[in-house]
């Protein structure tokens, strides 16, 4: 903004010595320009005391003085004096365009968005270079965006003609913001793809894309994006690793699901993560690793001794299974626990203990199954008795 205004100031020097300006006014304006480079406040005082007789002289003086007001930080006065110059009808077309654009930019930068639009829109009509018009359309899009006028913002941005400008980060990100506000999730995907191609290291774009895929239920695209995001070098959050793990599991890849959870740090790891990893390792038939994970989970919460014991029985480690079952503290499944104890003791050939636990299970929840086991165990005990 400051560079733009200083460029404007340099242009003022050209018409100062031309006709339409009285000699005294031309001298004062030139002196103000020379003085204003170092002492803008003094330049303002010079211009305030300049004897002005015509509307054109007033327009030129206001034009110069507005720049100096900006330099000293008095934006309100800068806008006021530049507006007087622009609205006077005395400036040549090109002079007017530059002043009008400056006023609009100042209004935008100070949050006066509706007022800025009143200045911007006249700049996009008439015979103007496409470069300048594209810049103004972008500013119009910005102003409407700040006013929460999302559709008008998108309409303005759609008027940009230059391909490199249309695909630039500022334009794409502004379009993205408007589409997100409108909840046009599908329309954000191509915008995010372009932004990622422009800034592949920017995790913001990746995370917006994963969020959109989640909203749309595009699970495979979500998994692909998370994988690419991690390969690109983005440090995934704990929740992102969990989502990736679940997606791998949904796609029948339990080994990769377990590996994703292994990426969690000790600080990020919660008991459910350990248990989930145990499940995935078990599904991947990584029995020893699964048992190790169940043990780790059980040390933190005794309810996990139950799945640990079940896997130990499956792997014929009956003695370890019995020890695990003794540590399960959930009475809700007491009948199941007694039956599991019976199974382990029966496999170890300890029939009296097996019969005892089968009896307890039958007392808790009588069933044909428990009755058959009692009959079976009783016969075996009688068979081996001397």
- 93/15 Cα distance (integer angstroms): 13
pLDDT at 301: 94
pLDDT at 11: 46
Give domain status of residue 289, yes or no.
no
Give the least confident one: 103-117, 238-252, 305-319, 321-335: 321-335
Give the least confident one: 41-45, 46-50, 54-58, 161-165: 161-165
Given a cut of 80, is residue 129 above it in pLDDT?
no
User: Who has greater pLDDT, 17 or 84?
Assistant: 84
* Mean pLDDT, rounded, for 298-316: 96
SS3 content of the chain, % helix, strand, coil (to 5): 80, 0, 20
Given a cut of 90, is residue 180 above it in pLDDT?
yes
pLDDT at 4: 55
Give domain status of residue 29, yes or no.
no
Give domain status of residue 376, yes or no.
yes
Give domain status of residue 126, yes or no.
no
Given a cut of 80, is residue 13 above it in pLDDT?
no
Given a cut of 80, is residue 78 above it in pLDDT?
yes
Give domain status of residue 357, yes or no.
yes
pLDDT in tens, 318-372: 999 999 999 998 667 899 999 999 999 999 999 999 999 999 999 999 999 999 9
- What's the token pair of residue 294? 């169940």
DSSP 303: G
pLDDT at 36: 85
Given a cut of 60, is residue 19 above it in pLDDT?
no
- Please check whether residue 275 is in contact with residue 291, taking contact to mean a CB–CB distance below 8 angstroms: no
pLDDT at 5: 52
Given a cut of 60, is residue 101 above it in pLDDT?
yes
Interior angle at CA 175, CA 169 and CA 177, nearest 5: 100
How many domains does the structure of the chain reveal?
A: 1
Give domain status of residue 269, yes or no.
no
* Mean pLDDT, rounded, for 206-223: 98
At residue 311, what are phi and psi to the nearest 5 degrees? Answer: -70, -35
Given a cut of 50, is residue 10 above it in pLDDT?
no
DSSP 284: T
pLDDT at 219: 97
What Cα–Cα distance (Å) separates residue 316 from each residue in 297, 303, 345? Answer: 21, 21, 11
- What's the token pair of residue 324? 């695990």
Domain containing residue 343: 330-386
Give domain status of residue 353, yes or no.
yes
Q: From 18, 160, 2, select the one nearest 75 (Cα to Cα).
A: 2
pLDDT in tens, 245-258: 999 999 999 999 99
Where residue 17 falls among pLDDT bands split at 50, 70, 90?
very low
Give domain status of residue 375, yes or no.
yes
Report the mean per-residue pLDDT for the chain.
Answer: 92
């Amino acid at each position: 903004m400051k560079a733009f205004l200083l460029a404007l100031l340099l242009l003022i020097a050209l018409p100062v010595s031309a006709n339409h300006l009285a000699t005294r006014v031309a001298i004062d304006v030139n002196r103000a320009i020379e003085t204003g480079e170092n002492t803008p406040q003094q330049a303002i005082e010079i211009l305030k005391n300049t004897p002005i007789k015509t509307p054109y002289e007033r327009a030129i003086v206001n034009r110069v003085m507005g720049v100096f007001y900006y330099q000293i930080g008095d934006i309100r006065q800068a806008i006021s004096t530049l507006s007087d110059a622009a609205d006077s009808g005395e400036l040549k077309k090109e002079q007017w365009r530059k002043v009008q654009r400056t006023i609009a930019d100042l209004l935008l930068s100070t949050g006066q968005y509706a007022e800025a639009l009143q200045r911007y829109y006249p700049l996009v009509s008439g015979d103007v270079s496409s470069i300048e018009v594209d810049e103004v359309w972008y500013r119009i899009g910005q102003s409407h965006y700040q006013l929460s006028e999302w559709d008008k913002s998108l309409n303005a941005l759609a008027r940009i003609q230059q391909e490199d400008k249309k695909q630039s980060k500022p334009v794409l990100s502004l379009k993205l913001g408007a589409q997100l506000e409108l909840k046009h999730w599908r329309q954000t995907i191509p915008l995010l793809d372009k932004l990622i191609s422009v800034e592949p290291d920017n995790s913001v774009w990746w995370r917006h894309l994963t969020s959109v895929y989640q909203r749309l239920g595009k699970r495979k695209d979500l998994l692909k994006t998370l994988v690419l995001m991690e390969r690109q070098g983005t440090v995934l959050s704990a929740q992102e690793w969990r989502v990736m793990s679940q997606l791998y599991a949904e796609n029948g890849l339990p080994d990769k699901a377990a590996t994703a959870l292994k990426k969690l740090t000790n600080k990020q790891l919660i008991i459910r993560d350990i248990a989930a990893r145990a499940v995935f390792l078990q599904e991947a038939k990584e029995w020893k690793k699964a048992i190790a994970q169940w043990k780790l989970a059980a040390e933190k919460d005794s309810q996990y001794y139950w799945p640990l014991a079940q896997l130990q029985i499956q792997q014929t480690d009956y003695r370890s299974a019995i020890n695990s079952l003794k540590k399960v503290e959930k009475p809700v499944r007491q009948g199941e626990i007694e039956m599991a104890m019976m199974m382990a003791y029966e496999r170890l050939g300890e029939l009296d203990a097996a019969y005892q636990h089968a009896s307890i299970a039958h007392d808790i929840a009588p069933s044909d199954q428990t009755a058959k086991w009692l009959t079976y165990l009783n016969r075996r005990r009688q068979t081996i008795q001397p």
